[in-house]
Every structure is written in C-alpha cells, then in structure tokens.
Chains A and B, each alone.
Chain A
Amino acid sequence: MSAHPLPARRWRPGFASWTTLIVGGLLLWSLWAIEASPERLARLPAQLAQVLGFFWPVDWQYGHTRVLPAIVESIQLAWIGTIIGAALSLPLAILGASTLFPWAAKVIKGISATIRAVPEILWALYLVPIVGLGPFAGALALGINSVGMLSKLGAEVVESADLAAMEAVEAAGGSRLAAIRLGLLPQVLPELMAHWLFRFELNLRASAVLGVVGAGGVGGLLLNTLRYRQFEMAAAVLVLTVLVVLAIDMVSGSVRRKLLRG
C-alpha cells in the first residue's frame, strides 16, 4: 500500500496503449517482410471472388466413389487415433496427477508437454517412412498426439477429484490399486470420457490435414483436387466434409453433455 492515499495523477500511456503500439509495429514490420503491399491487398477481394467462382457448380460425379470413402477413412483413422490416445492416457492421467504420485507426475507431465509441442503432421512425417504411405501412419500420428493431450487433461481432472473416498477404501484394507478403481475412477471416468469424445472431434478435423504427407484421410484428396484445379470436385469434398463433421459434432456433443451431467 502506498503511503499517500491519493497520489498525484499524471498521464501515462497505459498498458493497453503500449500493447497496441508494439503489436501494431510488429504487424507492419511483418506485412512489409512478407511483401503484403497495399496494392496486393487491394486486389485481394477481386481475386478471391474469382477463385470462389471456380467452385460452382459443385461436381458430384465422384461423390460416392471417391469422396465418401476418403471421408470414411478420415473417420476411421481419427477413431483409431482416439482409441490409442484414450487407452494409453488413462494410466498416464492417473500416474500424472501430482496429488497422487508427485514424483511420477513431474516426469509424465514433461514427456506429455514434449509430445504436445510437436505438431501431429511432424509425427506423420516420421511415421510414413516407417509404416508406409496410408492411413495407418495417420492413425499412429493422431494417437501419439492424443496421448500427449489426453494425459495432460486427464491428469488435471484427476487432480481436481476428491481423494477422500480413496482414503475410505484404504482404511477398509484396500490396496492403492483398489482405492483408485473403487474410490477414484467412478468420480473421474465420465469427465475423462467426455475429453476422449472431444479429442475424437478434434482428431477428425486434424485428419483432414494428414493427407498432405500421404498419411491417409480426406486431406490428400482435397489437396490434390485443389492442386490440380479441379475446384468443382473440391467443392463436393468440402461440402460433404463439413456436413459429416458437423453431424458427428452434434452427436458427440450431446453425448458429452449427458456424460458431464450424470
């Protein structure tokens, strides 16, 4: 506390003004560096309108022979990635809770932070030469990333759980493992499962990118149609992808809400 109850007020540029100034400066510098001149930006709307025009009319010709199978593959590899993530993250979430295993938690949190820092596409980059081009590599890449994410979120759920019931199990002669199964798991499992489902939604979105390095899913098809300027077919890929992803989000979202309520 200051000794003067009412210090003399002097105008100072506040935190907000400084931030705006610095960010503004960095922005201008970045724009200059990537050669985003005003002329280029002025031309952008017209160019964009022209390109968007290419996407019409939507070409459904390969809808069910190529697009749908690719989307299905995306769903499959997202699913397997999520299953891998959920299965491996469950023990890691418990071992990674500092309230239960202070020592192991530090190690596990470090490892999962490292895993999370590497974008899944880089994992795929290494996995493709090992297991070959295709969705298996993509599923593994998503799996690795999911383990990192889900262990962190899971450990947070476990850390916020009430450990009192666990002590009751141990007081009745139960082992640590029994205390975790009977006293902890019923508390945290619904929340963990909600995280798994949300990770599935995110994995499905991520799977649309893995195709870039040949790791399967709808991404490869999207990339190729756009690269070879088959915009009308790309439109079909986009429309179907958006519809499927939104539908799955809706189902998964309502299951998640049910899990968290019950």
Chain B
Amino acid sequence: MSATAASNDVMIRFRGAGVTYPNGVVGLQDVSLDIRQGEFVVIVGSSGAGKSTFLRTINGLTPLSTGTVEVSGQPVPRRQGRDLRQLRARIGMVFQDFRLVRRVSVLNNVLIGRVARVAGWRSVLNLWPRADVELAFSALERVGIVDKAYTRAGELSGGQQQRVGIARALAQEPEVILADEPVASLDPVTCHQVMEDLLRINRELGITTLVNLHFLDLARRYGQRIIGLQQGRLVFDGAGRDVTDADFQRIYGRRPEEDDFLQEAST
C-alpha cells in the first residue's frame, strides 16, 4: 500500500484529516494517506463525497478541523497569512469552471500564476518582469495555445480556457497540481485532450498531480493510483488498472450506471 511509502519522498501526508463545515456538514473524516513525489493520483466518488474538500485542504482553501496535512514535510498553516501564501505559491490549482478573468488577455491570466513571486507594485501596475512573462509564454507553449496569448480569455472555447487554467498553474512552477474536476464542463474529445495534457505534464516535469474525476472510465484509464471517497471517508486506495466494477460499487455505494461513464467515443 502506498500509505506506507518511505517518508523521504512523501510529497503530501494526510493524518487523521477531517473537515466539518460551519453548518455542521462533515466534508472529510479521518483520512490518512501519503502521496509520493511525482505520483498521478485520481480521486473518485459520487457528488458530495468530499473530493473537492479533500483537494482544497492541501492548499488551505478549506481549513482542516481535525488532523494534519503536510506538504513536503511542512504542515499546511491554518491561518491566512504569508506562510499560507508561500505554500500556495508552490501548489497550482485547476478548476472545473476555469476561473479565468474573462475580460483580460490569456497572457495576463497566466501571469496571475506569478502573483506570489513578483513585487506587489508590479502586479498592481500590470508591469511584469520579463522573466515572468517568459515563464508564462513557455507555460502556454506547453499546453499548445501560445497563439492565443493576446486573445481575451472569455473569447476562447471551453477546452482552450481550461488549457489557460493549466498554463496558469504551470506558470507557478509548482511542485503539486490540484485539478478539481477539470474536465467536467468539457465535451468527450476535449476531455481526453485535457487529461492527456495533465498526464504529459506530470511525466515531463515530475509534478505531483491530483485530479478529481467523476467518470469511472476516465479514472481507470488515467489514474495510476485511484483514491475512492464516500461520504468524506477513504474507502479505496489502489492502482488504477486493478480497479474492478465491484470496487466502484463499493465507492459509489451502488451499481455503476451509464451516467458514470464518459462513453469512450474518441478511442
């Protein structure tokens, strides 16, 4: 089991981690596991299982109520402040709804990934150092949309916008990428392209990558390791190719249905 990996290459370590929201809803409960450096992990679970909560505890967007999360040995700070911002700078995040600033250019969106590394006045005046612009461009090159650098983000298609989202995360030169259902708003073909992008980046740059997915076939295909959540609890942790329909039934608490697959139209 990977939960007992040698501690020297552990990137993220959960120990008894739990989240109870202010309204009393339990989002995550007693999760303990290790994620090694360079792993590509897919988290599955039905809607409301706690996938987003799980990811967001890693960069402190959702604070833990109990237990600890460590990123390369350093506990995630519970309070807002410089420590937390410095940790977040090392963790890129990709969102289901892209979260781009639609009215500004693709390049400026990607430069947001540099916000923690440049002087405040430079980002305020939109005067980014040449080296950071260079980084933004190479991030765009890596996801193949550098030709859109000066287009307004809002004018791109969904798949292109998600690539900008990935480029923004890449521009952070992150050690970890967290992708929260990155393909849920995309059509099947684009969906695979974006997943391939994430996998390629993981292989080429060795960035530890965690992806929340809803579709079982996508999870099986891309997840080298699959983590199953149900009602905030860890119910599965194993290699992607070993997952059986019985495992999925356990994760979902029911028999998999047609909706749980993305119908492999493109392959």
Contact = CB atoms under 8 A, between A and B. Distances in A.
B178 to A, nearest CB: 8
Interface in B99-125: 99-104, 112-113, 115-116, 120, 123-124
B12 interface: no
Interface in A172-206: 172-175, 177-178, 181-183, 186-187, 190
A13 to B, nearest CB: 48
B123 A178 contact: yes
Contacts of B85: 173-175
B118 to A, nearest CB: 10
Given A182-B112, A187-B101, A168 B95 contact: yes
Contacts of B168: 168, 172
Interface of A: 164-165, 167-175, 177-178, 181-183, 186-187, 190
11 contacts: A164-B99, A168-B165, A170-B61, A172-B113, A173-B88, A173-B115, A174-B85, A175-B85, A178-B120, A182-B101, A182-B115
Contact of B115 (A165, A178, A186): A178
Contacts of A169: 112, 115
B172 interface: yes
A167 B99 contact: yes
Contacts of A181: 123-124
Interface in B35-93: 59, 61, 85-93
User: Taking each of A170, A173, A181, A182, which has the highest tally of chain B beta carbons within 10 Å of its own beta carbon?
Assistant: A173
B59 A171 contact: yes
Contacts of A167: 61, 99
B97 interface: yes
B101 A183 contact: yes
Contacts of B90: 173
A170 B80 CA distance: 10
> Looking at chain A's contact residues, is the secondary structure mostly helix, strand, loop, or mixed?
helix
Interface of B: 59, 61, 85-93, 95, 97, 99-104, 112-113, 115-116, 120, 123-124, 165, 168-169, 172
A74 to B, nearest CB: 35
Given A178-B115, A182-B112, A186-B104, A172 B88 contact: yes
Contacts of B104: 186
Contacts of A172: 88-89, 92-93, 112-113, 115-116, 168-169, 172
Contacts of A177: 120
A164 B180 CA distance: 13
A61 B99 CA distance: 63
Given A177-B120, A181-B124, A183-B112, A171 B88 contact: yes
Contacts of B97: 164
Contacts of A178: 115, 120, 123-124
Contacts of A175: 85, 120
Nearest to B56: A171
Contact of A173 (B103, B116, B124): B116
A52 B119 CA distance: 66
A168 B103 contact: no
A177 B85 CA distance: 13
A179 B83 CA distance: 17
A169 B165 CA distance: 11
B77 to A, nearest CB: 12
Nearest to B100: A165
Contact of B103 (A170, A171, A174, A186): A186
A186 B101 CA distance: 7
Given A165-B99, A168-B93, A174 B61 contact: no
A187 B112 CA distance: 15
B89 A168 contact: no
A170 B101 contact: no
A160 B167 CA distance: 28
Contacts of B116: 172-174
A63 B80 CA distance: 63
A58 B92 CA distance: 71
Contacts of A190: 103
A171 B165 CA distance: 12
Nearest to B165: A168
